[in-house]
Chain A
């Protein structure tokens, strides 16, 4: 028998993240690189470690290879321990049945046996879609103090944006009285962050009931939470006021990266007491050559900069050749920007090459994206908002 854990975390990492376009063609959304040396999943995993939660199940199903390899033994997050640790949980065959995860609630339902091994009192449900630093332990204490059956983390959003979110209507004691998914006329601006703590006994019962309901779409937001509210269970909203960013679209992923270049940084990444851990590629410090110009940027290990970089983020091993210019862009690991190329308001995915003199993106307009491993021929021009993968036909006539 495994030793009892007070709280086990379950991280839903199975979504495709189709709104990230070609960036999630080969990788699951939580494995998408962010902030110069991280991947999105580093944030919830590091939050768990920093919150003292040492048992985490990561539920995967879409393009799991890169994510699995990245998580590995869990060592970067100190989750390579013998009593607990991080576990990758893909769907598996059970007796006569075996099926994909049908929804967020179904994914947890299919892993009841995993959770039960630890006899937890509480289960923390997370998603791999957001950039934020949060003390889950403080939220757990809140949950216990209120004797809640479920606690949902919320943050106040601008009223005009409220119709885009799942909104919690609460009483003066922060008890949730109503949940509205994307309401046209919101009564509150407390938006759900997709972070839940449940008292495990309660959640277990609702998961089993939900599974028996053939009409259910087996989703936390659509089914479990409304069902619990309908039964007058004690659901509380936990207010979170720090930095939180959904990185579900190309524009928001780009914005979230650019946020790190603000002074002061809206999310304190230098805080030694709440480090964000990541797998380290083990490269030399980066090199800035004579003649290079770097301003207002984040640059990490293994980069070699001979050209100009302004207001941009360079991941490990990126090379910027002489005369190349990178502006307001995100260049992911191992990519090369050749001599004289201009990259503006763009995301260049891993191991891509922007050929000499090529022009990517424009000063205004939507973000241009160069896909993983793509080689842009010299001299081509990619307009704002384009997504370039291997199948893209280069229109050389479109040159500026």
Chain B
């Protein structure tokens, strides 16, 4: 796939993730015990043979930059291609904050122009998937479409007032598009991943922004479909995917990877997910811990009870502490006698002795970074 490049946009709306996205983009959200959301996208691209990847940063991008670094973990630290971090910068045309995806693409048109590949895979960064992107691109090439959209029939992706839905004919051509409908009529949910020629993307973004338009879905895809001025088709992603756009959906994803079947479907042996390495020693279990149905990362020290939970690297659970249905990020601590249920502890949060915190299952409690309770 020498002729394909990747472009990832990380500026999605994150208001519904509350404190979790105060200091980071959704793309940098820690998930599944050791990963960040963006690991899945970058790994999918790399596994699909894409070697030139640009990541468009928006706000709070420090944590994302720190995570991606030189791109070494993804073998993206080459000379010819590699990982390109594209932070917002102020120019005459660019005021720093992108009103939409199109503005972001246009502001980085230099990166597009300088790249050598003919085809671009453009992806948002708030949907977790592990796809054969080489097959998506092959589909695009074989069908000769102008744009190919990746979609899913996964019913959990269909939600009122959110998302973009596609009506397809028998040969997979897009007949109609619904953008953020109150009640979606179509069950094909567009995954915010598309394939397009590099020059066409650059042209479309440039023209659209010049006309005061911002939305890729509404102002380009929907319009092209309605005008019938371009051939847009779709490729079905048959794996499971997760939209991370709220505390609830974030919580749900982490709980679902506890299911061995779903986990093996996402972390496939043929499509490894790469991430930054922290060089922690293996997790240590004490004399009498009790762990049930949980994912535990390296560097953890477990002496208490852990049930249906995801523990990130370096978490400490003291003796007689009880953790149930929780997500505890890097270096969190739960001290002796504490009981927590349905909680999300951000990095380095500490729950002191004998504290009790029980959140409702439908609305988990979020404990912010470095908070001590």
Asked if B176 is an interface residue, CB under 8 A from chain A, the answer is no
Bound CA–CA A298/B288 (angstroms): 13
A301 & B275 in contact (Cβ 8 Å cutoff): no
Contact flags A294-311 to B (C-beta < 8 A → 1, else 0)? 111111110010000000
From A277, A282, A289, A293, give the contact of B274 (CB < 8 A).
A282
- Per the 8 Å Cβ criterion, residues 286-334 of A in contact with B are 286-301, 304, 313-314
What does DSSP make chain A's interface, helix, strand, loop or mixed? loop
Contact code string A237-279 (vs B, CB < 8 Å = 1, else 0): 0000000000000000000000000010000011000011110
Whether the pair A276, B279 counts as a contact (CB closer than 8 A) is yes
| A287 lies within 8 A of B258 (CB) | yes
The number of inter-chain residue pairs (CB within 8 angstroms) is 101
Contact at A284–B282, with CB atoms within 8 Å? no
Q: Which of B260, B292, B311 contacts A285 (CB 8 A)?
A: B311
Contact B267 A284 (CB under 8 A): yes
**How many residues of chain B are within 8 Å of chain A by beta carbon?**
38
Q: List 12 A–B pairs whose Cβ atoms lie within 8 Å, in order of A's numbering.
A: A35-B282, A276-B279, A282-B273, A282-B274, A284-B257, A284-B295, A285-B297, A286-B295, A287-B295, A296-B285, A298-B281, A300-B282
| Contact of A82 with B by CB under 8 A | no
Q: How far is the CB of A70 from chain B (nearest CB, A)?
A: 15
- Chain A residues with Cβ below 8 Å from B301 are 270
Listed in ascending order, the chain A residues whose CB lies under 8 Å from chain B are 35-37, 75-76, 263, 269-270, 275-278, 280, 282-301, 304, 313-314
Q: Given contacts A289-B293, A300-B298, A304-B260, are A284 and B32 in contact (CB under 8 A)?
A: yes
Q: Which residues of A contact B277 (CB under 8 A)?
A: 76, 280, 282
Contacts of A277 in B (CB 8 A): 279
List of A residues within 8 angstroms of B288 by Cβ:
295
B293: min CB distance to chain A, Å: 5
* B:24-83 near A, CB below 8 Å: 32-34, 72
User: Are A294 and B273 interface neighbours, CB within 8 A?
Assistant: no
Partner of B292, one of A280, A283, A290: A290
B33 touches A284 (CB 8 A): yes
Shortest Cβ distance from A293 into B: residue: B290
Q: How far is the CA of A214 from the CA of B207 in the complex (A)?
A: 83
Do B282 and A285 have beta carbons less than 8 Å apart? no
Cα A297 to Cα B296 with chains together (Å)? 13
Q: Is the CB of B297 within 8 A of A301?
A: yes
- CB of B299 within 8 A of CB of A288, answer no
CB contacts (< 8 Å) of A313 on chain B: these are 282
* CB nearest neighbor in A for B299: A270
Q: Are B296 and A285 in contact (CB under 8 A)?
A: yes
Q: Are B295 and A35 in contact (CB under 8 A)?
A: no
Instruction: Determine the chain B residues whose CB is within 8 A of the CB of A304 once the complex forms.
Output: 260
Residues of B within 8 A of A286 (CB): 283, 295-297
CA distance A291 to B260 in the complex (A): 14
Cβ-defined contact, B285 with A287, below 8 A: no
6 residue pairs, one from A and one from B, having the closest CB atoms = A285-B33, A36-B282, A300-B282, A285-B297, A269-B281, A298-B282
Q: Is the CB of A37 within 8 A of B298?
A: yes
